[in-house]
Copies of this chain bind each other. A is one copy, B any other.
């Protein structure tokens, strides 16, 4: 049965975050020849677009060809057939031909001595769990988190956020809950909710369902951009804890749930919360913490751990020729991930490429800075020394 709901890992790697390696060269034009995902079709459009850096994400979820049967003995992976594995990378290639360069976690637009940094994202199929659990109060926090956590990786302070809420029939109580979460997310990231669009689209969404997208804009001085350029072998990887699955990997989560025999109301084994509550825990917004740490210096690169996990997201901030070694026992993997892995019989590598495994943000810092940051502001926050930068490429776990 696994072939009926599988998806190929290559697709996830290619396109879950199709924005590829980050911007390490001073001019995007220089990157064109070596990194085909970077290009600058729009540079001629505007004098201001010198040094423009563009990002395009793709959040690809496997298509459910049929619902998985309960309690299969087969291991759940993203490798099986059932979705066109080349679709995502093909779209990237085609967009690359006609649209601006792609790179980093947020698009950079030069403005005077600063960059405006913009990011957009939705919350993917975590929405389905919101529908199923009835927990709508925090999905707006997830929405804001996805975009502001991206733009803060460049050192940008978020200025404002806008949301798009689409549904087939406006339910005021439901919309109010969702937007209240967005307001909370904006407060947590100290940015203004500058606008939004509520779209009632008959015949688009199932009853009681909706889709969300969000847009954040921040600003950073040009000479303060965090871009990974100064990262060297020997730098330290500092991990900041996640609150759970955050807003990625939910297509796999839903498959695991379907085969596990567990309901969302069942307790997460070993914890005092239901599975639904644990899965719906709002994404941590790292903005204030990161801006505080950045202001003290020593942070060379920041990776927001979303789809692709530690495995795919950490290398995106590295210059060519560098990789990472992760000490896999350097933090406690939360119970929720252990349950998902066990219930889905998912291999370690698959877990690490799909989920954040308890680490939602990774800082690449000098050894000097690492001591200060790992001290955790006198206990004000948790931080883990999870690994080091090494010569080579990719991420290995020891």
Which residues of A approach B to under 8 Å, CB–CB? Answer: 15, 18, 41-42, 45-46, 48-49, 52, 54-64, 83-84, 87-88, 90-91, 94-95, 98-100, 106-109, 111-112, 116, 118-122, 124-125, 127-128, 159-160, 162-164, 166, 168-172, 175-176, 179-180, 182-183, 186-187, 190-205, 209, 211, 213, 215, 217, 219, 251
Chain B residues, CB < 8 A from A164: 120, 122, 164, 213, 215
| B251/A192 in contact, CB under 8 A | no
- Given known A-B contacts A121-B197, A122-B197, A194-B118, A170 and B91 have beta carbons under 8 A apart: yes
A110 to chain B, nearest CB (A): 10
The CA of A4 and the CA of B61, in the complex, are separated in Å by 37
Question: In chain B, what residue has the closest Cβ to A95?
Answer: B179
By Cβ-Cβ distance, the 3 closest A-B pairs, closest first, are: A107-B194, A164-B213, A215-B215
Question: Could you say which of A64, A195, A203 has the most chain B C-beta atoms within 10 Å of its C-beta?
Answer: A195
| A201/B166 in contact, CB under 8 A | no
8 Å CB contact of A46 from B171, B190, B198: B190
| A172/B122 in contact, CB under 8 A | no
The CA of A240 and the CA of B365, in the complex, are separated in Å by 56
| 26 residue pairs from A and B, CB less than 8 Å apart | A45-B187, A46-B190, A49-B192, A54-B194, A58-B198, A58-B199, A59-B197, A60-B198, A61-B200, A61-B202, A63-B200, A91-B170, A91-B176, A94-B179, A107-B162, A107-B195, A109-B159, A111-B159, A118-B162, A119-B162, A120-B162, A120-B197, A120-B215, A125-B203, A202-B251, A213-B213
